[in-house]
Amino acid sequence: MKKILIVRFSSIGDIVLTTPVLRCLKLQLGAELHFLTKKAYRELLVANPHLDRIWTIERRVSEVLPALRKERFDLVVDLHRNLRSLQLKWHLRRPSVSFQKLNWEKWLMVRFKIDRLPDRHIVDRYLDAVRTYGVQYDGQGLDHFIPPEQEVDLAAALGLHEPFTAFAIGAAHATKRLPADKILAVCRRLPGPVVLLGGPGEQAVGRSVAEQLGDRVHDTCGRLSLQQSASVVRQAQVVISHDTGLMHLAAALRRPVVSVWGNTIPAFGMYPFFPAGIAQQVVVEVEGLSCRPCSKIGYEACPRGHFRCMREISEEAIERAVTGFRKA
């Protein structure tokens, strides 16, 4: 395998979860590695030393198809497996492999609560796609590389000089996020300084929480790039996150993670993935709800209106987990 194209179009967490495949392909096969993704996610990969070239699209594979054909890849590794990636493989006419997506098993779990999900992380399923070429998982977990110019000096930017908790308060779907009053209640209980992380959509919540709790809470929502947010995560003593991209970045940067789950479940195989032998995560969820999971992705509002999966999250459990990591 001299030249390999890896395909994963989106999104933050899913791309971070491909990094063990990139590392193992590069170090074990010595192949020239190309990666195809959406332009919005290129930032995640620019500093990855295992990649030789990054290709991006805005919407359609036709944007890069002529150039990709000329590369004459020895193998296409499809880690997205959707209509767009199928179209790409058909047009390239090169040998290809893909991973087991589990759409049927997830549908059974969401629709009828019939559990046919394998007890395997998605990283293991990604690696299965290339095992036939002699690639083996090296036990080293996820990777993430931050360009030096994107590192954040927290002392200069926030006047922060002591250990802190990073709290990633965002998520792509509302049913994956704690309500604003629960975020406030959690922050009120946390020991030490707290840095709130999120995008423009979390600015109002972040500002409100910081205003109500004073100087102990530092709001950065909507003010940092993705890589700058990763820099803050890297410097945190512990990270609280919903089921979202920053949760996986925290695991890639070897930070202890307290993950908070709403409508989705860790059994889908997307929980924090650490190197072999390292257990730096605590899962906080409301177990026993007959309506959970209600989606493999999420909704903009609880389909049943009660939102118990997040409303009944134990603030004490989050505090206890954070305190345990801080003491350790």
Question: At which of 87, 114, 133 does a domain end?
Answer: 133
Q: Give me the long-range contacts of 146-154 (CB less than 8 A, separation at least 24).
A: 146/47, 146/227, 146/230, 146/231, 146/234, 147/46, 147/47, 147/227, 150/225, 150/227, 150/228, 150/230, 150/231, 151/228, 151/231, 152/224, 152/228, 152/231, 152/232, 152/235, 154/195, 154/232, 154/235
53 within some domain: yes
Domain membership flag for residue 228: yes
- 190/274 same-domain check: yes
Would you say residue 154 lies in a domain?
A: no
> Does any domain span residue 147?
no
Q: What is the CATH number of the domain that holds 46?
A: 3.40.50.2000
Residues 124 and 168 in one domain: no
Query: What is the full per-residue pLDDT of the chain (328 aa) written as tens digits?
Result: 799 999 999 999 999 999 999 999 999 999 999 999 999 999 999 999 999 999 999 999 999 999 999 999 999 999 999 999 999 999 999 999 999 999 999 999 999 999 999 999 999 999 999 999 999 999 999 999 999 999 999 999 999 999 999 999 999 999 999 999 999 999 999 999 999 999 999 999 999 999 999 999 999 999 999 999 999 999 999 999 999 999 999 999 999 999 999 999 999 999 999 999 998 999 999 999 999 999 999 999 999 999 999 999 999 999 999 999 999 8
Q: Are residues 117 and 203 in the same domain?
A: no
If asked whether residues 97 and 166 sit together in one domain, one would say: no
Structurally, the chain folds into a number of domains equal to 2
Looking at the structure, do residues 111 and 260 belong to the same domain, yes or no? no
Q: Of 118, 133, 148, which residue constitutes the final position of a domain? A: 133
If asked whether residues 9 and 129 sit together in one domain, one would say yes
Q: How far apart (Å, rounded) are the C-alpha atoms in residues 148 and 51?
A: 18
Q: Is position 250 within any domain?
A: yes
Q: Cα(34)–Cα(16) distance, rounded to whole angstroms?
A: 15
User: Using CA atoms, how far apart are residues 36 and 34, in angstroms rounded to an integer?
Assistant: 7
| Full domain range(s) for residue 35 | 3-133
If asked whether residues 108 and 167 sit together in one domain, one would say no
